Amino acid sequence: MIFSAEQRCYSAFQTLRNSGILLVFCSVFFIATPLLSQPINRNDSTLFRYVFDIPGGYVNDHCLIRGSDGLWHLYFIEGTVSNEIWYRDSNQIIIGHATSPDLLNWKHLEPALRLGSPGALDAGHVTAPYVIEFNGQYYMYYVGKEAGVGYFAGEHMMLAISNDLYTWQRHFTSPIMAPDTAWASYYPKGYLGGSGGPVSCRDAHVIAHPEYGWILYYVARLKANPSRPSADQEYSCVAAATSPDRTHWTDRGPVLIRKTTGIEEFTYAHPESPCVFQRDGLWYLFWKGGNGTRYVISNNPLDFNDRSEYFLATSHASEIFDWQGKWYITSCSRNINDITHSFSDRTRGLFLAGIEWVGRYPKVVPLATSDAGNQENSPNSTEIIISPNPARRGKVSAFVTGVFSNESCTVEVVDIVGRKISVEQLQPPTVSSDGVRFEVSMEGLPEGIYFIRFHNRLGSIVRLFALQ
């Protein structure tokens, strides 16, 4: 069997307990554990499948939408692989377009959008598209950068509209929205010879909302704030704006604030690529920060601050969405394990993996066997899945994936200091199409962190869970 981080931590608990050493504290990464430090050695490569490649090119920030033609449409920053700096004037000058019937087999099409006319705010670069549909019309929110001023002289939120997802026309309002100067960092007019504007205003993600009409999430940098105190651009954020009609926007300010840089292998911690949706009455905000994709959960779509932060995967610029009852996550631009962007940055296309929900917490999993091929050697082929997790008092359902033997086995519940709470013999266990299923009683146990250990003649596997 596979020895997971939880298995190794469980073994460490037993060693400490047998040695008479008091265990004071241990942090373990698992699906529902708040992020306490950076998972610098984590590698989620085996979870993702490479589904779309552009010879000599790459996919960066992107979005997906299912069209009325029955196809998935992928819009993305399309760049050219080169030994030159990626932010050169000749790169990231088109919004790429591809279609697929099944998310796995993609056809690369002509660009959806090219540079704007000379002097326009998008005459230098066009990046970071996000597309929504309303009453048969499609809206593409994207970022424009001026020509002749370099890549880092201001970002402008732009809008293009289409009736068929293939031909796009720019909206006459330019830019379509901008963050409030009361809190956002701006370049002054004339900066590097350009018109100035927000230091950061990009990576749109737009959702419909029954109260606010439409919410546009984007990333920005904060100006100096003496009350914090902080220097200009020391903090960055995911911000939001609302609109009744998708074209007139009211800025709502930051909804999640983080430091622009942090102490980790890859120090560019500026939140990027927000992805927001509601599930089971809760709002989820995912974003790329540092080593990968993180998320927080809130009951308010305009406030994600001061919530526990979770780490999802070592993915980049991920979109998370559901289709036909299944959930998916994308990644792009670099290898999944290149968390420092040091050896594959801006050389790869699109990756795809699945999402499973354990209670309210998402977990990245390989695509179904029929899609992704033989997964016998996957490190996630054998694991304990507990539902719900966090658990509540009563019986907790669990099953061990990848184990199909009906031989007798043992299930133990162990507390945080290594004491065995219960031991149950399954003779024989209940075997289903996805593994061994069993129930564990939580009656009478106090709230806290516990381990479930499943053992048979082939070995042991351990799962950490919370009881609340």
Task: Mark which of 309, 342, 372 sits at the end of a domain.
Answer: 372
The reply to whether 93 and 225 lie within a common domain is yes
CA torsion sign, 91 to 95 to 99 to 104?
Answer: positive
Same domain, 358 and 440: no
**CA of 457: how far to CAs of 1, 424, 437, in Å?**
10, 15, 17
d(CA 128, CA 77): 6
Instruction: Please check whether residue 272 lies inside any domain of the structure.
Output: yes
Both 366 and 410 in one domain: the answer is: no
In a domain, 384, yes or no: no
Residues 292 and 414 in one domain: no
Q: What is the mean pLDDT of residues 345-361?
A: 96
- Which has the closest alpha carbon to 450: 384, 352, 376, 402? 384
**Do 311 and 434 share a domain, yes or no?**
no
From first CA to last CA, the distance across the chain in angstroms is 30
**Which amino acid is residue 405, in one-letter code?**
S
- The pLDDT value recorded for residue 403 is 61
Question: Domain with 407 in it: what CATH number?
Answer: 2.60.40.10
Strands 137-145 and 125-134: antiparallel
Mean pLDDT for the stretch of residues 65-78: 97
CB 50 within 8 A of CB 408: no
Residue 229 pLDDT greater than 80, yes or no = yes
243 is a domain residue: yes
Q: Are residues 395 and 365 in the same domain?
A: no
Which of 372, 401, 420 is a domain's end point? 372
Q: What is the mean pLDDT of the chain?
A: 85
CATH number of the domain to which 334 belongs:
2.115.10.20
Please give the full DSSP string across 116-138, using - where no structure is assigned.
Answer: --TTSTTSSEEEEEEEEEETTEE
User: What three-state secondary structure class fits 32?
Assistant: coil
Which one has a higher pLDDT value, 18 or 399? 399
Kindly state whether residues 351 and 395 are assigned to the same domain: no
> What is the value of pTM for the model shown?
0.73
Which of 372, 403, 422 is the C-terminal boundary of a domain? 372
Same domain, 105 and 181: yes
Instruction: Answer yes or no: do 330 and 395 share one domain.
Output: no
User: Residue 263 — pLDDT band, cuts 50, 70, 90?
Assistant: low
What confidence tier does 202 reach under pLDDT thresholds 50, 70, 90? very high
Domain that holds residue 455: 5-31+389-467
pLDDT: is 464 or 44 the higher one?
44
Mean pLDDT of the 175-180 span = 97
92 and 114 housed in the same domain:
yes
Helix and strand numbers (H, E) in the chain are 2, 31
Q: Long-range contacts for 123-126 (Cβ within 8 Å, ≥24 apart)?
A: 123/147, 124/89, 124/93, 124/148, 124/149, 124/151, 125/91, 125/92, 125/93, 125/151, 126/92, 126/93, 126/94, 126/95, 126/158
Q: Using CA atoms, how far apart are residues 461 and 153, in angstroms rounded to an integer?
A: 53
**Does one domain contain both 26 and 151?**
no
Q: List pLDDT tens digits, range 278-317.
A: 999 999 999 999 889 999 999 999 999 999 999 999 999 9
The answer for residues whose C-beta is within 8 angstroms of residue 335's C-beta and 6 or more apart is 45, 343, 344, 348
Is residue 381, in this structure, part of any structural domain at all? no
Split into its structural domains, the chain has a count of: 2
Cα separation, 182 vs 344, in Å, equals 38
Whether residue 379 is contained in a domain is answered as: no
Percent of the chain past pLDDT 90, that is, above it, reads 63
> Residue 323: is its pLDDT beyond 90?
yes
Residue 297 lies in a domain: yes
User: Looking at the domain assignment, is residue 333 inside a domain?
Assistant: yes
Is residue 65 domain-shared with residue 183, that is, in the same domain?
Answer: yes
Q: How much is the pLDDT for 73?
A: 98
- On whether residue 38 sits in a domain, the answer given is no
